[in-house]
Structure 1
Amino acid sequence: MKKKWDLRIPQILAAPIFFIALLFGILKISAQECPVLVSPTDGTTLVPVDASISWEAVTGVPGYIISLGTTPGGNDILNKRNVGTATTFIPEIGLPESTEIFITITLFFFNQPNIVCDNQSFTTAALSEAPQCAISTFPANDAKNVNTATNISWGSSPSATGYFLSLGTTLNGSEILTSTDVENSLNYNPPADLPAETEIYITLIPYNRIGLATGCSSTMFTTSPEAILPLCTTMISPVNGETNVPLSPTLEWNAVPDATGYRVSIGTSPFETNILDDAIFFKTSTVIIDFEPNRTFFISIYPFNEAGEAIGCTQETFSTALGCGPYFDPESGDLLVINPELSFPDSVLICLGNEFNIITATDEADGYRWFQLDDRGNETLLSTTSEVSITEEGEYLYEAYVNIEDSGILFECASSKIFKAKISQAPEIDDIKVQLSANSLNYEIITTTNGNYEYAIDNEEGPYQDTNRFTNISLQNHTVYVRDKAGCGIAERLVELDLTVNGFPNFFTPNGDGINDYWQFIPPSEINENNVSVIYIFDKFGTLLAQIAPNTKGWNGNLNGRQLPESEYWFKAVSNNNKLFKGHFSLKR
């Protein structure tokens, strides 16, 4: 999701990155490693001289610099070519035969030391035949109105060690340039302008130690009337090689006299134009929106006019360094990011009907932003502090950022996440189901409302539990509490212990623990005419086991000093007015 403030990503600090890490608690990503060759692999022999070289990509590395030489660490074949983030390189003129080639891969970083990796090597095969013909690339075959100041360029014949070049006004002619050994080059700049409005023939013959290429055809182009080509230009901003370039910079270059426009190409490697591809500008500046951070970009600018475009212009580079990482820490060997690591939850609860539902950030940061998201993902800013008031269910965006100052300019490194707000409400207790066990109670608490609740017994401060069931509760009165986890309220209810039917207990537990050890009539709280005078206790066969009076402890479950087993027992009670009560109860041990 792109936000308008995404473009304000902070610059990398000029201070050592490990110092930044100490200040902002930077998150470690992974230990730095050098890449290994993928093709050809280290130690490979009989490698074709036209082989391309590729290596593993390394996470968090902004770019690679490649050197090729015939000695360890040497650069006599290729000297420190910056290839951007590309992980493949094709030597333009091929490789020497029967030679051990040493490749040095350097990891390129911004405002900190580059890492020069250990040499890897492979050995090329011997040539077995003469080279193939090369193809002229500029001017193209049968091209018209070619400027008389043009250069001549051609594609590589990889097994060639040199080229013979002839230029003439007739097929296979050489009156402009007799057959000349231009060595292992891929272009030629004639010392003088070519004749105007003339057909020019190019004859190009590659050679190596085995011999000359055979059957090579000439190509032809026609020059334009005499005209003056514009010269090349150079960058003003950013200058060639500049780092710390803003992500949305204004690109500006020097004006060239007699130029009517400029063709501009930008890529992330010397061989790509994936940012701008031959775009035409009629002024000397342009704004590029949202460059990727921590990248090297390669820019080519060719002024042009009616005579054609400038010849031989040099590619220039600049690097952005405004991202928040990952960066390599040379002290620890780790990749680091500056963005805050978020611990904010995926969802939060808000209270139904509460106009002041306050949500607080859980992360340490220099600043915060809270957005409400609609069904289309559009954002409405709600707060720029560590707290936000949320009154509706839905999706929201939370952002925390740290401020980084560089050269007097303040930038941000931000992390964000989408979370959901869900409605909760104060609990209401509907019922408490009580279940009797041998010497304890079990509760199940039923609420009339739905919410994210927790439960406690006898103490409003807790401890609370997530389940609404309590087991092994003592045989006495208890108060239960139901609390909304979002702080929307607490409900409570007293559960009075009633173990009798009309004063006669429905069970007792004569196990000697001092609780409910005797079965005895418990007079109701109100005095009435049904006060009991005597109680008879029977087993299930009708055998009289005991006779008790209301003013005694009651029956202890024994017969003649012997404990009777767990079972159902029956009673018959006679009131003072000779009214008869019958029932049964359980003996539990």
Structure 2
Amino acid sequence: MLNRLYVLLVLLMGISTYAQECPNMLFPADGVTNIPLDATIDWETVDDVPSYNITLGTTPGGDDILTSQFASSSSYTPALGLPANTTIYVTITLFFFDKPNITCPSTSFTTEPLTAIPDCTQLTNPSDMAVDVNPNTNISWNYVYGAEGYRLSLGTTPGGAELLNNFDVQNTLTYNPTFELPAESTIYATVVPYNSLGAAMGCTYQEFTTRAPSALPDCTTIIYPQNGETNVPLSPFLEWSAVSDATGYIVTIGTTPAGSDILEEGTFYTNSTPVVNFEPNKTFFITIVPFNDAGRAEGCTQTSFTTLLGCGPYLDFDTGEYVTINPEIDFPDTISTCENEGPLTIVSTDEAEGFRWYRIDQFGNETLISSNREVTITENGQYRYEAYNTVNQSGNTIECPSSKIFEVVSSEIPTIDGIRPESFNGNLSLVVNVSGNGDYEYAIDHIDGPYTDNNTFENIAPGNHTIYVRDKNGCGIAEKEFTQNLTVEGFPKFFTPNGDNINDYWQFIQPKSSEPVLFRSIRIFDRYGTFLKQISQYSQGWDGTVQGNRLPSGDYWFVAVNDSNQQFKGHFTLKR
């Protein structure tokens, strides 16, 4: 928090804790001569500097060759080239959003002299053989090395000049005719570069065909920020209404109605653009002018907006990251409480200067219930948690909050209503049915899990099992035992101990179709569960008597235990 406040205060007050260094010139180096006329000017990147402005002149700090131009990187190539055999002074200005700019001492270099007349050039707009060109179009062409100016001729015949005769446009790369070109006609354009040694020779015409004239585009309407809007974030996303017949938009932003110190006639081909780091607590003036090949929209009005007394985000140029004063909060969407355990107490663990808790009713109205880190909640429903930091700006204390809406719900220990065995292709599954007000998870045989949200356990071995159902909100664990007996072929369904030597004994008979089964014991019970007899798998079997007494006809039960300690249960009938 202290680091964030420190960054904010530095940004707001324009305080620098170190002396800002100016960049060294990489090319051309200070004092060098014979520099090409199409040279790119490069300088070192300076830490913590978001952008640069560059001017070129024939005197230290002068701008008679190039007025101040914005350079987003540490290099700049003059669009019109450089004048020949001239000592040129380069002045770099370090541009800052949050403190005064720094203008660095000028360096100089001398360009090479002219040695030849320039070559011919080519049109860039309209391109050669273009069709369907608006009669109000501008004429543009490419820069030519060593050119000090250009002469333009326009005609309706090849090489003709009846519309514009060898007009000297001087050292520019575009010309906006003061007259409208003939509609639906073929226009022939010839551009001849020149310098002090002479004019280019053999330059041929290029042609294009116009269409019926079209109207200028309409002005647009700002969407965000709206005119007069306040508390606009420092890094907003500017957006305006799209104009159907506009090719693009010219955007100018300044800190005064006539200013362009933030952005001077930037060209955009979409109806929106992000902006990084406006200064806080300032009013900005913005003008957006749609254009097409007929020209710019006319009479577009200026709008203004004011940036907020800000909580951020602010760009920290040391780290390249944004800093906000609002606290970071970590809070769940839902908090559960166990029924019948009394009021719920919540204590925030977030780092912040202050806290607030609100109860939200069914109509969306909020009631403050606590202004501390801790809150006590006595009923289920919807709540809003808010944590905030403060910062002093321009003599005012500003709150920077972060908040989260959450639900409070009740849970209870589950009730296991039943366990239903299911068999498919010989595989046993157990389906657990529960009831209760809670969010439950399931485990088998181990109270510590693993737990799953699925209430079905598959491929379960027959035998004794314990099912555990746990409330996810910590309100308790329910458990229930379940036994699934094994069955096996070989135990007769009945026997007839009548002394005819046919089926007189009841005994397990190993089926030929299965693997041998070894039983450690076979015990027999009556229908009331009274133990009657234990026999060995290898004995003759049971003859239907107990201590020499013949038992009556009826149903009897058995429990057999194999060598893996698994139980097999079933029943059979004694017939006399």
TM-score tier by shorter-chain length is: 0.3 to 0.5
TM-score of the aligned structures, taking structure 1 as reference length: 0.46
TM-score of the aligned structures, taking structure 2 as reference length: 0.47
Higher RCO, Cα 8 Å, sep 6+: 1
